[in-house]
Every structure is written in C-alpha cells, then in structure tokens.
Amino acid sequence: AKKRACFSTTSSNNTKLPTPLDAPTSGLGLGTAVLFGGLFAAGYFVGTSIGVLPNYQSIKRQFGLGNDVELNVRSKVFFDVSIDGRDAGKVVMGLYDDVQPKTVANFVALCTGEASLPNQPLHYKNSPFHRIIPNFMIQGGDFTNGDGTGGMSIYGARFVDEDLSVPHGGAGTLSMANAGPNTNGSQFFICTANTEWLDGKHVVFGKVIQGMDVVEKVSSYGASPHGRPAADIRIKNCGRYTEDEEEAEAVEASSAATSVEEMQERLDTLREVEAQFKDKKDSVDATLYSQVLGDIVAEKRRLKLELKKAKKESTT
C-alpha cells in the first residue's frame, strides 16, 4: 500500500492530524492584554496617529510571546498559482540555504525542473495543492500522483532530516511534509496559523515573503475534513525568483507602492500576532479577549479591502 506523506508517523494511508501540545503556563498576562487592547484603541495598528507599525519581533518581545531563531534568506523561488484554471496570484518564498542546504537545494531544483530525468520530470509545475486544512496549512508537492501518496526528491525517493531545531514561526512558514523521521521527498506545506506542535518533527526551510494573500485564498478552498480541496488548485508555473524580476515589478509598481507595501506588512504582522494571541486565550479575560480579537479581525478586513482596491487601481 502507498504511504501518504503527511503529519503522522503511522503506516496507515489515513491522514491524521497531530494533537497540539498543551499551551505553556507562563502565558499572556491580563495587564499585557489590556495594553494590547489599548494600542488598538489608540490607533496603533491602524497607524493613523502613532506612526509606522513596529516589526513582528518588536511586538513579540513587548507582549512576551517568545523569540524566533535568526534566519537568513538566501535563495528565493516563486509559485504562480491557479484556481480552476484561473490565475490566483504569485507566492514568493525565501529559503534558509545556510541552515538547510540539502532541503533548499531539493526544493529549488523541483521549482526549476533542472534535475528532471528523461522518463521522470522532477518539477512542481502543474502539480496540485492536494490537501488544504483552513487555519492549519496547505500542502502540495506530489507531482507524480497528485494525491499525497507520491512525489520524490532529486536525491531519490527520500532523504534525511536536516536541522529540526528551526521552529515553525506561524503563518507563512514553509516546511517539509513527511511520513516519519528521515522520509523527506518533494511534498511540502505552508502554514496558515501557528503550528508549534510540529517543531522537531518537520524540517522548516523557508517562509513566504510575498503573496500571503494568495496562500489565504488557497486555504479558503479547504472544505473536506480530510483536506480535499473544493477546487482544482495548481502550481501553474514556478522557478527561481531573481533580482531582475524584483526590479521589473518595482518599475511597474504605482506611486502608491510604498503604501501598499506598508499595508501588506501590517496585514502579515496582524496575522502572526493573531495566531500568537489565540494561543494565549486561556490567560486573558474573556471579554477583553473578544474585544481585542475583534479589533484584529476588523483591521485585517480593512487592510484586505484597501490592498484589493490599490492592486486593482495599479492594473488599470
């Protein structure tokens, strides 16, 4: 029987989700939560009176939400995604070459197709996102069978884990799917929420640096309890994301590019803070929790509408 690359070490073909670990006891205090809510009330996240939103690391330190490992992005790759044959947008991922060199080399080669064999293309192009679970992750990379039972690496069928100490840092984290220790192939997943319980079990080798809105759009098509997508979602094209492409996009951008970039940065920050804040739910007064979370959701909605409007104007 074929073994499905997923989030379980079981030999069964049935995909099983991991059981989240208990939340740490030293959670977000009420005083910090009050401060958090107050920042929203003062227009801190909207940026109307205080100024530019600080980066995610500053927010995490201020709210005692822990520290991330310092990771340098070297290589960049992209996916052009389609949904039922229609263009859905571009996702650009930055990769941690220094920490996970073998995993990154495999992923880059599968994006470019440069390691393809005469009778076996090793290429993500036109492969599907076969498993989507909202508020968890989107999974792809099975270019042989398209259903989670196949795929292969440029090194052969499977290759060993590299550095498992790199944590899953919330929405946008790029990690390898597997069927147990040292069973990496071609399947990967992009987190759409905080997934700390996967730390030490899956190799984190990059992050989404552009196009998280596209990832969320893909995530919205997760309808089945088993993760079967409600639409045909594919990697229409993929490859290295070069400096020439970055420069070309910068030239084509409108005069409002800085504003759009700032809004996208705010939106990405809010997504990550929201995931961290939800993890601390049991440590926060219920009424305050509801109020702060409502503010986050409302601000995310506002930013999405503004970004959609700005992108539409830039193409007309």
Q: How do residues 213-232 score in pLDDT, each as one tens digit? A: 999 999 999 987 789 999 99
Q: Predicted confidence band at 91 (pLDDT cuts at 50, 70, 90)?
A: very high
Considering the candidates 130, 131, 168, 271, report the single residue annotated as catalytic.
131
178 given a catalytic annotation? yes
* 235 or 282, greater pLDDT: 235
Q: Do 299 and 240 belong to one domain?
A: no
Considering the candidates 28, 95, 106, 178, report the single residue annotated as catalytic.
178
In a domain, 182, yes or no: yes
Considering the candidates 7, 36, 159, 189, report the single residue annotated as catalytic.
189
Q: Do 244 and 284 belong to one domain?
A: no
Q: Do 301 and 180 belong to one domain?
A: no
Q: Do 150 and 293 belong to one domain?
A: no
278-283 average pLDDT score: 84
In a domain, 18, yes or no: no
In a domain, 1, yes or no: no
Q: Do 152 and 52 belong to one domain?
A: no
210 given a catalytic annotation? no
Give the C-alpha separation, 190 to 199, whole Å: 14
Residue 61 has pLDDT above 50, yes or no: no
Q: Do 96 and 237 belong to one domain?
A: yes
Angle at CA of residue 214, ends 193 and 272, nearest 5°: 30
277 given a catalytic annotation? no
Considering the candidates 7, 136, 205, 277, report the single residue annotated as catalytic.
136
276 given a catalytic annotation? no
Q: Give the pLDDT score at 52.
A: 39
Considering the candidates 53, 95, 110, 139, report the single residue annotated as catalytic.
139
Residue 82 has pLDDT above 70, yes or no: yes
* 238 or 278, greater pLDDT: 238
Q: Do 303 and 280 belong to one domain?
A: yes
Q: Do 46 and 95 belong to one domain?
A: no
Question: What's the number of CA atoms in the CB half-sphere (13 Å) around residue 46?
Answer: 14
Number of structural domains, the chain? 2
159 given a catalytic annotation? no
Q: Contacts from 306-311 at CB under 8 Å and sequence distance 24+?
A: 306/263, 307/213, 307/260, 307/263, 307/264, 307/267, 310/254, 310/256, 310/259, 310/260, 310/263, 311/260
Q: Do 106 and 238 belong to one domain?
A: yes
205 given a catalytic annotation? no
In a domain, 227, yes or no: yes
198 given a catalytic annotation? yes
Q: Do 137 and 200 belong to one domain?
A: yes
Which residue segment(s) compose the domain that 214 sits in? 76-248
Residues sharing a CB contact under 8 Å with residue 242, sequence separation 6 or more, in sequence order: 76
Q: Do 203 and 171 belong to one domain?
A: yes
Query: Can you give the CATH number for the domain in which 208 is found?
Result: 2.40.100.10
